[in-house]
Structure 1
Amino acid sequence: MTTDTGWVGSAMQQSVPWVKSAGVEFGETTPERAVAHLPDAAEVHNHVGGPHAAMIFGLGETASGALSLAAFGATMERATPLVVRSEVHYLKFARGPLSAEAVLDRPAADVLAELDEGKRPEFAVDVTITDASGRETTRMTVVWTLRPNR
């Protein structure tokens, strides 16, 4: 598996139209951690002037997707990463630009070993979303699977 993951951000923007239209930008992306940013824009605000919950969720899910792609992109010929379920906790009112940090809950090698055994592995990605001051506003977990291609 390659460790060069510099391609992930542009691949996400090209293959997931929402990412580009929402203006999501990518920071560090490795097989263990990915960071995504959502600039502040009035057109994504809710009725009280902060980013709409759907945008916050989308940012977190996108960060988890970038991590999944970085960790398992080399398996795309034999398996497709798909979201199974997610849980989100909106902790504090979010304002301004946001950053999402996604972290894999277990080693990618363990997930790949399950895939090699013929299983359909699931893995969780924990996401923390913060505002420009570094204040945690949202916490979420996105559970993914690697569905074997037929």
Structure 2
Amino acid sequence: MSDTLTNIGELMAATVPMTRTLNLVYDEVAPDRAVVTLPDQPDFHNHVGGPHAGAIFTLAESASGAIVLAAFGDQLSRAVPLFVSAEVVYTKLAMGPVTATATLGRPAAEVVAELDEGERPEFPVDIDITREDGAVTSRMSVVWTLRPNR
């Protein structure tokens, strides 16, 4: 991973208060994949002893934001990335630390080409959240846009 991409985790921690609050760990950040971990922290447990659904949502959203910065950081002088919508499905009980693995749902070059044409492109980021044993506990799909600067 390049120094620029390594610094995305540091940038997120410095500029996004919830990232610091939840002590998220940016394990891997690249233009097509980001891996972020939420450590097991009793202060963020729900009524059954696992991470609260809101903490899991924030973990997944943060992984999606990291991949967006990695893929489109070079476009920030002309467009701002915005979160459009999200769909999340919780499938299994999450216990202990959980890891979000985000993947870009469209080729970055395709998205940038739409931006070049004066459009406001939208693109999905898909995220799997897993426990330490590898079981997928939830899935989230986030739609992002690059809004051209005016």
Return the TM-score normalized by structure 1.
0.96
Deviation at residue 117 of structure 1 after TM alignment: 0.4
C-alpha distance in 1 between matches for 2:76 and 2:60: 22
Per the alignment, residue 83 of structure 2 pairs with: 83
C-alpha distance in 2 between matches for 1:11 and 1:81: 15
C-alpha distance in 2 between matches for 1:50 and 1:61: 18
Per the alignment, residue 116 of structure 2 pairs with: 116
Q: Which runs of 4+ in 1 moved over 3 A?
A: none
Q: Deviations over 1:68-108 (max 9, x none)?
A: 00000111111111110000000001000000000001110
- Where does structure 1 lack aligned partners over 5 or more consecutive residues? none
C-alpha distance in 2 between matches for 1:4 and 1:58: 23
Question: Partner of 1:46: helix, strand, or coil?
Answer: coil
Q: Deviations over 1:19-47 (max 9, x none)?
A: 01110010111000000000001100011
Per the alignment, residue 134 of structure 2 pairs with: 134
Per the alignment, residue 36 of structure 2 pairs with: 36
CA 50–101 in structure 1, closer or farther in 2 if over 3 Å, else same: same
Amino acid at match of 1:73: G
Per the alignment, residue 102 of structure 1 pairs with: 102
1:3–1:31: 8 Å Cα contact kept in structure 2? no
Deviation at residue 10 of structure 1 after TM alignment: 0.6
% of aligned pairs identical? 54
Alignment of 1:74 with 2:68, yes or no, is no
C-alpha distance in 2 between matches for 1:14 and 1:4: 15
Question: Partner of 1:50: helix, strand, or coil?
Answer: coil
- Where does structure 2 lack aligned partners over 5 or more consecutive residues? none
C-alpha distance in 2 between matches for 1:39 and 1:92: 18
**Alignment coverage as a number of residue pairs:** 149
Amino acid at match of 2:74: A
C-alpha distance in 1 between matches for 2:15 and 2:73: 13
Question: Partner of 1:64: helix, strand, or coil?
Answer: helix
C-alpha distance in 1 between matches for 2:3 and 2:103: 16
Amino acid at match of 2:129: I
Per the alignment, residue 10 of structure 2 pairs with: 10
